[in-house]
């Protein structure tokens, strides 16, 4: 039984350093670099992967998920939808003193739920609610069915097809893109190796200083039968990673252009500054997202979709797409109320790396 070392490569600095470490430490024929292609990538990422293959003499396996079956099943569901149920808006109930009224079950017992308060769990009563208004019918109207079925076809782009299938874009609180476009693809690749009789070590370019939820990341962890996670960079910081990878490999040009990280263009977690950079340097990606908003909106029951949290009804949103409203906001200062008059003076071709790569 051989041990195979699967390295998830995104084209970013951490995964590149992880791949370099793997190539240094284990025999080359045991290293399997993979790239989970979301279809929402900058062309510089694909070019950088080609460069890495050439510079390191490796083949990076590209994995792209196909949602044709899910979209076909959704078309069938919409076409056949005959549900009669209605859904209602609700409002919380308070007593005469303004205290919340608890919800009770059929026997009069207060219904409770488990909540996390800091580091401890506690049980708290669920507040009673009442329906407001006449509600909406749950089933798709014939008009909405015609509108959705006219556009609901697989496009071959994993990110767009995922959103067409789900009828919405992922968000910070419902980040299903990572699971469907990256994690599941990587796991099925690893399981195929295990099924072929190998042990698998999954090399992951995770650093503890990246975010609070990575602070407890373990360096090595058994995550299943014949499957381990190995995170060689957990104790490194961004500067360590650049100085290590910089010895032999040039960085992804997106860092030189001002991106903090390499991933979707844009990511649903995009910061205000990153959105401003993207709109100035690569407006074609914003145009693409505006077109995706139109398509996903047509494929939804309610007829509209936003890539980033809904900006509300504005002239810009109506004329050019919701994403452009967020772009306008990204060019403001002071809580989104004043336009940043210097923002457009940043020369779009100059280096703006937040890691000081061109110092
Ligand atoms: S979280 Fe961001 S980078 Fe990751 S798949 Fe979703 S949109 Fe892409």
Residue 310 confidence (pLDDT): 62
Probe ligand 1: pick from 162, 181, 186, 275, max atoms within 8 Å of CB?
181
* Cα 112 to middle of ligand 1, angstroms: 35
Look at strands 112-117 and 120-125 and give their pairing.
antiparallel
Cα 171 to ligand 1 centroid, rounded to whole Å: 9
Identify the sign of the CA torsion 176, 182, 184, 187: negative
Is the separation of the CB atoms in 299 and 167 below 8 Å?
yes
Ligand 1 centre to CA of 275 (Å) is 14
Strand partners, 5: 31, 201
User: Distance between CA atoms of 151 and 162, rounded to whole angstroms?
Assistant: 14
pLDDT along the chain (359 residues), means of 10: 93 92 95 96 94 95 96 97 91 94 94 88 94 90 96 97 96 92 94 96 91 86 93 90 80 84 88 89 94 95 86 64 85 63 46 41
How many angstroms separate the CA atoms of 327 and 286, rounded?
9
Distance 12 CA to ligand 1 centre (A): 13
Query: Beta strand 220-224 with 227-230: parallel, antiparallel or unpaired?
Result: antiparallel
What residue has token string 């009804």? Answer: 313
The whole-angstrom separation of Cα 47 and Cα 253 is 10
Angle at 196 between CA 191 and CA 201, to 5 degrees: 50
Which residues, 6 or more positions from 227, have their beta carbon under 8 angstroms from its beta carbon?
190, 194, 199, 200, 202
On whether the CB atoms of residues 152 and 75 are closer than 8 A, the answer is yes
φ, ψ at 51 (rounded to 5°): -65, -45
36 in ligand 1 pocket by Cβ < 6 Å?
no
What DSSP line would sit under 283-342, residue for residue?
A: HHHHHHHHHHHHHHHHTSSSS---SSS---S-HHHHHH-HHHHHHHHHTEETTTTEE-TT
Which residues, 6 or more positions from 229, have their beta carbon under 8 angstroms from its beta carbon? 201, 202, 204, 218, 220, 221, 223
> Atom 7 in ligand 1: which residue has the minimum CA distance?
267
Whose C-alpha lies nearest to ligand 1, atom 1? 178
End-to-end CA distance of the chain: 48
Nearest CA to ligand 1 atom 4: 178
Residue 198 contacts by C-beta under 8 Å, 6 or more apart in sequence? 1, 2, 3, 4, 226
Residue 121: both structure tokens together: 């769990």
Which is the closest atom of ligand 1 to the Cα of 268? 7
Residue 90's pLDDT is: 94
pLDDT score at 357: 40
Rounded distance from Cα 245 to ligand 1 centre (Å): 24
pLDDT of residue 333: 73
The answer, yes or no, to whether any atom of ligand 1 lies below 6 A from the CB of 181, is yes
Q: How many CB atoms lie under 10 A from the CB of residue 8? A: 22
Report which ligand 1 atom has the smallest distance to the Cα of 40: 8
pLDDT, position 156:
96
pLDDT, residue 105, reads: 93
The pLDDT value given to residue 340: 55
Tokens 């009669």 locate to 84
Does residue 356 contact residue 243 with C-beta atoms inside 8 Å? Answer: no
Report helix angle 283-298 to 158-166, nearest 10: 30
pLDDT of 354: 45
Q: What is the pLDDT of residue 346?
A: 46
| Residue 16, SS3 per DSSP | helix
Torsion of CA 262, 268, 271, 274, to 10 degrees: 50
The residue ranges of every structural domain in the chain are 3-67+155-345, 83-138
Identify the residue whose C-alpha is closest to ligand 1 atom 6: 177
Q: Is 45 in the pocket of ligand 1 (CB under 6 A)?
A: no
Phi/psi at 295 (nearest 5 deg)? -65, -45
Does ligand 1 have an atom closer than 6 angstroms to the CB of 264? yes
Query: What CATH number labels 3-67+155-345?
Result: 3.40.50.620
Torsion sign (Cα): 273, 277, 279, 284: negative
């Amino acid at each position: 039984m051989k041990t195979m070392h699967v390295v998830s490569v995104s084209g970013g600095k951490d995964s590149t350093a992880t791949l370099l470490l793997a190539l240094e430490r284990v025999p080359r024929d045991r290293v399997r670099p993979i790239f989970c292609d979301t279809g929402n990538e900058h062309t510089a990422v694909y070019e950088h992967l080609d460069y890495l293959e050439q510079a390191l003499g490796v083949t990076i396996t590209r994995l792209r998920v196909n949602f044709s079956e899910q979209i076909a099943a959704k078309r069938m569901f919409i076409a056949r939808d005959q549900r009669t149920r209605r859904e209602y808006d609700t409002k919380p109930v308070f007593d005469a003193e303004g205290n919340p009224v608890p919800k009770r079950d059929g026997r009069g017992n207060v219904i409770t739920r488990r909540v996390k308060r800091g580091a401890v769990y506690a049980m708290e009563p669920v507040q009673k609610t009442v329906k407001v208004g006449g509600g909406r019918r749950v089933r798709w109207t014939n008009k909405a069915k015609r509108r959705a079925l006219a556009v609901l076809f697989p496009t071959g782009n994993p990110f767009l097809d995922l959103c067409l299938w789900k009828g919405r874009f992922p968000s910070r609180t419902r980040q299903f893109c990572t699971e469907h476009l990256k994690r599941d693809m990587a796991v099925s690749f690893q399981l195929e190796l295990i099924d072929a009789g190998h042990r698998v070590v999954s090399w992951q370019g995770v650093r503890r200083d990246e975010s609070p939820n990575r602070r407890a990341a373990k360096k090595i962890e058994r995550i299943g039968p014949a499957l381990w996670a190995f995170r060689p960079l957990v104790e490194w910081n961004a500067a360590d990673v650049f100085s290590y990878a910089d010895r032999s490999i040039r960085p992804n040009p997106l860092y030189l252009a001002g991106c903090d990280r390499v991933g979707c263009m844009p990511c649903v977690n995009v910061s205000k500054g990153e959105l401003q950079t993207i709109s100035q340097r690569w407006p074609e990606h914003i145009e693409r997202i505006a077109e995706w908003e139109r398509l996903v909106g047509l494929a939804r029951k309610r007829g509209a979709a936003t890539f980033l949290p809904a900006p509300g009804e504005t002239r810009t949103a109506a004329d050019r797409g919701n994403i452009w409203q967020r772009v306008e906001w990204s060019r403001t200062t002071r809580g989104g109320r004043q336009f940043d008059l210097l923002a457009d003076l940043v020369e779009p071709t100059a280096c703006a790396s937040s890691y000081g790569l061109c110092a």
